[in-house]
Structure 1
Amino acid sequence: MASELKMLIDQVSREKGIDRQTLISTLEEAIKSAIKKKYGNRFDLDVTFNEEFGEIEAFQFKEVVEHVTDHEKEVSLEEARALDAEAELGDELGIRMSTDALGRIAAQSAKQVIIQKMKDAEREVVYDEYKGRKGEIINGIVQRIDKNGITVNIGQAEAILPSKEQIPREVFRQGDRIRAYVLDVKKISKGPQIVLSRTHPHFLIQLFHSEVPEIAEGIVSIIAANREPGSRAKIAVVSKSPDVDPVGACVGMKGSRVQNVVQELRGEKIDIVPWNMDPAKFVVNALAPAIISKVIIDQNNRSMEVIVPDDQLSLAIGKRGQNVRLASKLTNWRIDVNSESRYGRKKQAGYQALLQLPHLTNEMADRLYEAGITSLEDLAEASATELMDLTRQSKAVVEEMKIQVQELLSVKTDAAAEPMDEAGPVEPQEQDILEAGEPSAESATERVSGE
């Protein structure tokens, strides 16, 4: 029958999930440490676990000599043959030591070593389990809340949801269930630190993976995702099958699938955008629900100027620039949105001349243009008072502006006389969207809110 120690090792290994051999090695190390603590460090020791009898055996090795000079490392031939009749001079003889006489202090030391080694082994088991779950969604229960964040009980371990990884205005209480994205698993002195996030774009992606079977099966793919947590998000999707609508698959019957995601994100609005290989069409889809009339592409600078009807300008830009900002991050293109009226003005030489002035912004140039000041000559003739009202600048700035106008007018350039390179400059490529018969972004994209 197995001894009590052997059964205890098997039980701890089973309950704590620690490798049995690791426990045995820990126990052997602890006994060796206790013996050295009691008798000193000069012993040549070997401590092993006897599987057959289920007990720890400790042996002190001594050299068989004719005349003993060091009792801790040497044994006489006479004493050696009393233990082993076949002992000869020069042999290494293992003498069994009793572990029962270690004493209270040594036993306590052994206990501390065992406890520490078990904790280290447990931490290693937890780290090995969760390092492979990085990038997954995990469920847990809020254990405590402090200035460092929310501590979450995830079963065998605790995880931390830092303040910066929490959705703004989201409130949790002790005992609440919580879902979060495993952002990182670190090894620190106190054990593995599992860092969670509810703001990461991949949290949104993983939520759709769990809600949309077509994504889990690989029929629909999420190409990109970007969020302003708690407010709005955009994801770009594409289907590998012509029979499956990627937007419709993510939305679900009566919006059931996307609404589950919205509820988990506490009402965060989600725009589901169909991805397109053509960057201009992709940007148009990403700017939904605004209607786009023209896109001017600058491949060298990876930027686009998007022209929209005047009544669509605020919709395209979004509240505090949110719509165009998210679209720019989603498509990885710099996007400048302008109205058709401003775009028409920019094509006129007079308006471009006004923009040469260092202190004049686009908004100021628009106000001047609407007031009938459409060229540098008109600006030079306007009164300082009128310019102060239109530009909302101080008298000193306006007077400096008028000096700059005079300097520009005094410079006589004859651009037509300059020889032009045959190839000419590389102009940005214009692409008409509505005129080319492309569907508007409004019809190409589903927008879902938490309402």
Structure 2
Amino acid sequence: MAPTAVGANRLELLQIADAVAREKSIDREIVLEAMEEAIQRAARSRYGAEHTIKATIDRRNGNIELSRLREVVEKVENDATEIDLVSAQRRNPAAIVGDFIAEPLPPIDFGRIAAQTAKQVIVQKVRDAERERQYDEYKDRIGEIVNGQVKRVEYGNVIVDLGRGEGIVRRDEMIPRELYKTGDRIRAYVYDVRREARGPQIFLSRTRPEFMGKLFAMEVPEIYDGIITIMGVARDPGSRAKIAVVSRDSSIDPVGACVGMRGSRVQAVVQELQGERIDIIPWSPDAATFVVNALAPAEVAKVVLDEDAGRIEVVVPDEQLSLAIGRRGQNVRLASQLTGWEIDILTEAEESERRQKEFAERTDLFVEALDVDETIGQLLAAEGFTSAEEVAYVDLDELTAIDGFDEETAEALQERARDYLARRDAELEARRKELGVSDDLASLPGLTAGMLVALGEDGIKTVEDFAGLTADELVGGWDEIGGQRTRVDGLLESFDLDATDAENLIIEARVRIGWMTEQDAAAARGEPGDEDLGEDGEDDGDAAEDAAEDTTA
């Protein structure tokens, strides 16, 4: 028998669902559920919004079934949504209170308004499903490179058609002087995907260091295979970049592999990045060697590391200074970003001048403190002595080992040094009392008279004042100020106090005033107590972590 017009329309419903699912790359079931919800809304407008109506589309033949649901109750209060138990059991003898009875409804003809409402529901549901599909697909692609076509440019931001999604390259994520117009092909790095009211936002970048790393992985098979590892990338987008690489196979040169035959591999990356100059640096676990490599092509004469401050001092020949610093400081800035060290560049002449100045200052210190002539002061400074304390308390053998110093001279020097320190400490003690620094604070082990005066001059006068400080406030540290990593001086930075000693002093102060228990203090110092040990005798570390956070907050 030939299908009726109604049958054809029903089959057409399934065909439409299949077509929409394919076009939007979403599940066919989602489209059919959206259609069912649209029919339900239209039916409620026809039969009354107070009714609970369910629509079902047969997945095989497209038949639409409408039914009204009513809950089985003991006593009916709302006839539209409830049915008493006796009536329900006439329809279904197994019905009990809490069940729902479905009563078939005749099919309806969609009016213009109902049809429009149904269409809006379907469109919205499909759009929501499409957005969810896009989010699920691209959230797993964060950290990948994608290719797309420029859809439009808005206020410098480039909107990219990715085929099954739409990404955006913001103006600050574009390489300077790089221009795109509608229809251009573009390659970018996915760095974030967010759910937003207008749909998932896929954020792309061409300036991030990771973009360059991924480009090299695409061009260099050894990186893709894991034989060569990229240890760091620093970029000045569109101008210059440095990339550090290391090889797991000693027979493979990581720099040569990245450069490629006649520079073919690195040139492919350079072309993609609009001519950005790339320095490929061999990575080294030794910080000094790595910094020297990172400053290439400049030659380095000497390096001095200050691990506590995260700084490294680099001495270069006078003629290499401009090369080491680079145009507008570019070379040293990129080297610093790549290695993670703050780099100070000095010429050999500047370093020599500074050494001479420090030598003269130490000489004057010994001449004044020990009441000796300049020659003896110079001998002490030349031997590496930097303070009267070192002279006073060093082993006598170290002084007698200096040419021209016999035992009698060494003992005399130590006696003078101790007398000087006693006079200085007495003056500092008087100054400490004048400033009003409490005796309780003065009794804290590890704080010298000079430290107490420095604290008092900065308004730190009680144990409570001291307990409220952090280690960085005492010894100095680094902070982000205005987007720049800036050195912040500490109250006791001029004294021989490291961060660990500073933390222990603060912990002791907090114990004294009751802010911490002895158990907390032991945990913070990394000393396991009985209560920190589990049945296996191992420290669980939680208390130590909590207390350590307190000292550095």
TM-score range, shorter chain: 0.7 to 0.9
Does the CA-based 8 Å contact 1:24-1:49 persist in structure 2? yes
1:213 aligns with 2:221: yes
Is 1:143 aligned to residue 147 of structure 2? no
Instruction: Note if 1:241 corresponds to 2:249.
Output: yes
Q: CA deviation at 1:412?
A: 5.5
Q: How far apart are the structure 2 equivalents of 1:147 and 1:104?
A: 41
**In the alignment, what sits opposite 1:446?**
none
Match of 1:264 in 2: 272
Residue 284 of structure 2 is matched in structure 1 by 276
Q: Does 1:3 align with 2:11?
A: yes
1:168 is displaced (CA, Å) by 0.8
Give the 3 Å change call, closer, same or farther, for CA 31–310 of structure 1 in structure 2: same
- Cα distance in 1 for partners of 2:260, 2:95 equals 86
Task: Say if 1:215 and 1:27 are closer, same or farther in 2 by CA, change over 3 A.
Answer: same
How many residue pairs align between the two structures?
Answer: 371
- 1:127 aligns with 135
Q: Is this contact kept in 2: 1:142–1:172, CA < 8 A?
A: yes
Change (3 A) 1:68 1:128: closer
Q: Does 1:311 align with 2:319?
A: yes
| 2:26 equivalent to 1:18 | yes
CA separation of 1:18 and 1:309: change in aligned 2, threshold 3 A: same
What code does the residue aligned with 1:27 have? M
Amino acid at match of 1:419: E
Distance 2:228 2:148 in 1: 29
Q: 2:389 aligns with which of 409, 419, 438?
A: 419
Greater strand proportion? 1
| Per-residue deviation, 1:155 | 0.8
Deviation at 1:56, TM superposition (A): 2.4
Distance 1:84 1:306 in 2: 92
- Please say if 1:348 is aligned against 2:356: yes
The amino acid of 2:293's aligned partner reads N
Report if the CA contact (8 A) 2:43-2:108 is conserved.
no
Give the distance between the partners of 1:297 and 1:76, measured in 2 at CA: 87
Unaligned 5+ runs, structure 2:
1-6, 372-376, 378-386, 399-494, 497-553
**What is the aligned partner in structure 2 of residue 48 from structure 1?**
56
Single out whichever of 102-111 and 119-128 deviates more from structure 2. Answer: 102-111
AA at the equivalent of 1:280: A
Deviation at 1:232, TM superposition (A): 0.6
The structure with the largest helix share of the pair is 2
Q: Distance in 1 between matches of 2:123 and 2:339?
A: 54
Percent identity of the aligned residues? Answer: 49
The one of 290, 295, 299 equivalent to 2:307 is 299
SS in 1 for 2:226: coil
Say if 1:212 and 1:250, in contact at 8 Å, map to a contact too.
yes
**Equivalent residues in 2 for 1:356-367, closer than 5 Å:** none
In the alignment, the residues of structure 2 paired with residue 283 and residue 42 of structure 1 have an alpha-carbon distance, to the nearest angstrom, of 76
Paired residues of 1:6 and 1:55 also in contact (CA < 8 A): no
Report the 3-state secondary structure (helix = DSSP H, G, I; strand = E; otherwise coil) of the residue aligned with 2:131.
Answer: helix
User: RMSD of the alignment, in Å?
Assistant: 3.5
Query: Bigger CA drift: 43-52 or 251-260?
Result: 43-52
2:298 aligns to what? 290
Q: Secondary structure at the match of 1:174?
A: coil
CA distance in structure 1 between the partners assigned to 2:77 and 2:288 by the alignment: 92
Partner of 1:231: 239
- Residue in 2 aligned with 1:177? 185
> 1:68 deviation in Å?
10
Post-superposition CA distance 1:122-169 (Å, at most 9, x none): 111111111111111111111211215011111122211100001111
Q: TM-score, normalised by structure 1?
A: 0.74
Equivalence for 1:152? 160
TM-score by length of 2: 0.61
Asked if 2 retains the 8 angstrom alpha-carbon contact of 1:61 and 1:73, the reply is yes
- Please state how far the C-alpha of 1:85 moved relative to its aligned partner: 10
Q: Distance in 2 between matches of 1:85 and 1:258?
A: 77
Distance 1:352 1:37, change over 3 A: farther
